[in-house]
Amino acid sequence: MPPLSKPIADDRSQLFVGRQNECGWVRRWLETPDPPSQVVAVTGMGGVGKSTLLARILQMGPETITVWIDGRTCYRSPKGFLDALPDRFHDWQKMPEPRPHLMIAIDNYEELEVLETWLREVFLLALPATGALVFLASRQNLMAAWLLDPGWRDRVQLWPLKDFSTKEMEDFLARREWPRDELAVARRLADRHPLSLALLAEARRRLPPNETWRLDTLVRESLSARLLREVTDPELEPLVDALTVMREANLPTLERVIGRRVSPRQYRAFLRLSFVKRGANGIVSLHDLAIMHLFRDFRERDPAGLEAIRQRAVDTLLSTWSPSSQGAVAQQLLWICRDVLQGGSHYADLTATAPDLTVTGYQPPDRGLVRQYIGAWSRQSLPIPPASALRLFDTIASRFPSAIRVTREQSGRPLAVFVALPLYDQTLDLLASFHPLVVERLVASDLGISRCRPEEANALFNVLTGLDLEQRHYSPETLLGVVARDQFAFQAGILGLLILTNPELKAFLRGVGYQSRPFPVSQPPVLDEELFILDLRQQHFGAWIQGLLNQQHPARPMISTRDMRELLSHAGDLTVLEENPLARALNLSPQDFMAVVRETLSAPPAPPLTERDQKVLRQAFFSSTNAVWEHATELHVSRATYYRYLEKALEHLVGWFHDNMRRF
């Protein structure tokens, strides 16, 4: 009977996806007679698949002696490392020549960084010059000293692991029986990050069909906990929080946003976090998936702290506003306020990171696809038939191509098109040739639109839109969110216009400050046709953003979390319940009040209450044990983090009651 290791290895091999270049390199090394001994540094963000790749590689040489060491389990001394080596390594040392190939995989190598010199100058130098392959897996590249050493630089391979490609993501999910028509859901929740995809697929496999709404929370909490466990220095937390809000910044900007200086030691430690990326000119950013999950965690964990950092970030960026930088600053301001702009609308997802999508100008090879998307769009802002819309697009592409913005996937293939014409004599004449009544009414309105020279145009009319509704990698909401953020960035100092009947889009635009007026111009008349207007000609773009922020009125609890804690801590004491101010304010009997609490903690979470809040409160006040360490262990967090979670959960429960008082 084969050992258990064989079926486990077979299952892992069957589900293993991607990393073809890395596996191909190892295969060629194994097939080479007397291959030179090499060191391979495998680096990447937590959860990107470093350990999975090492496990797969160690299966590739059936005649090879393989050794696995986890740096977290070794004593950080030469003796501790040698003691951690399994017997098979010592047996290999005693074998007569020629010995089998040797592969050593050291996972979590950053934990053994203090042994780097000893490993490089003592342990590895004792290995044979051929036939040995050593893998060092770490979150950050720790090989600088190796690459500067003339003796080692040609014997070191660097393998920075990235997320899956789109094809690899689809292959990964297909092997785990993920429905193909739900690829956009997987992309939104996990992007192409291997660990997140694995968590998502496993959660879907285990959850009952009526609880798939929990997938988002399960993935977010699991990944956020793994990422935040890397932040062992509390003074690094504000830097992480600031970048979850800003997306990217240099050190001086970060210092202004967090309100203090960052020491060189702290900044070096920050740069070594696996989800921090370094760019050109000192710009740092977070991994896109880390931004998505950590931002939501920050919003639930500390909403007041989020708003404080957001306001300082807005103030900092507005201080850099200039005619030459306004486009880039506007884009960043829109990103910082993405959840505020989103409001409660589901028409466009402004919060999605969508790192593989870019918006650029129009190119002639785009014509076939974008015309297809425009022709399939149900109703254009300029209300003309589909055939006329295509003729209008062709004219604009020929005469005014700068008015066309194309959203592209990583390959450059167009996925969406948006056309917004600046209004001046030539463009007004063009629009009048397709719909004279629209132009007549715009010019006759009190909006200040007139026939003028191009350089005097101060109004932008959105006329055509189209999306690839057949592709399954991105939801329409994600594509529309990317399009909307790009268009908002062009609103600085102008009058933005579009004609609408779609009630969801109307609600979305009203939420971000658009005004509307009846504007029936179609034939036959359409009663709900309205002109939507955002006039920033006399208002600074920053003032518009500040106005949106000022509209946010978070619910304020009528009682303190201390009162709520007191109530829940005495759930069985009717005397305490009867005296509790919240129960009295709601005019509920003690029994009814506790029934509402229990029902609320077991129902699908409703903002501001989250699923994590519900779990923490059930554990703290309605479980069979009061042991804090047991509750913290079940959540996979420290006791300090558990206490923080509990305090936030109490705040959110009080906020939920405040929001729902009218029900009682």
Nearest Cα residue to 377 out of 501, 482, 465: 465
Residue type, 370: V
**What pLDDT, on the 0 to 100 scale, is given for residue 556?**
41
Contacting residues for 238 by C-beta, under 8 A, at least 6 apart? 258, 260, 309
Mention every residue, 6+ apart, whose C-beta is less than 8 A from residue 327: 489, 490, 492
Ranges of residues in the chain whose predicted pLDDT is under 50: 553-557, 662
Distance CA 17, CA 376 (A): 36
pLDDT given at position 553 = 46
Question: In b/e form, how buried is each residue of 225-255, taking b as 16+ CB within 10 angstroms?
Answer: bbbbebbeeeebebbbbbbbbbbebebebbb
CB atoms within 10 A of CB 364: 9
Give residue 15's pLDDT: 66
**Measured distance CA(73)–CA(78) in Å, rounded:** 13
Distance CA 226, CA 24 (A): 30
Residue 45 confidence (pLDDT): 79
Check residue 466 and give its pLDDT: 94
User: DSSP 3-state helix, strand, coil percentages of the chain (rounded to 5)?
Assistant: 55, 10, 30
pLDDT in the model for residue 234: 81
| Predicted local confidence at residue 193, as pLDDT | 79
The dihedral of CA 343, 349, 354, 360: what is its sign? negative
Cα-based distances in Å from 133 to 41, 65, 74, 110, 154 = 11, 10, 20, 19, 14
Q: pLDDT per residue over 330-357, tens digit each?
A: 888 888 888 888 776 778 888 877 777 8
Q: What is the 3-state secondary structure (H, E, C) of 556-567?
A: CCCCCHHHHHHH
Alpha carbons 164 and 529: distance in angstroms, whole number? 45
Which tens digit of pLDDT belongs to each residue from 276-333? Answer: 888 778 888 888 777 877 887 788 778 888 888 988 999 888 888 887 777 788 888 8
pTM of structure? 0.66
Structure tokens that stand for 517 in this block: 């007026």
Query: How big is the chain by its Cα radius of gyration, in Å?
Result: 30
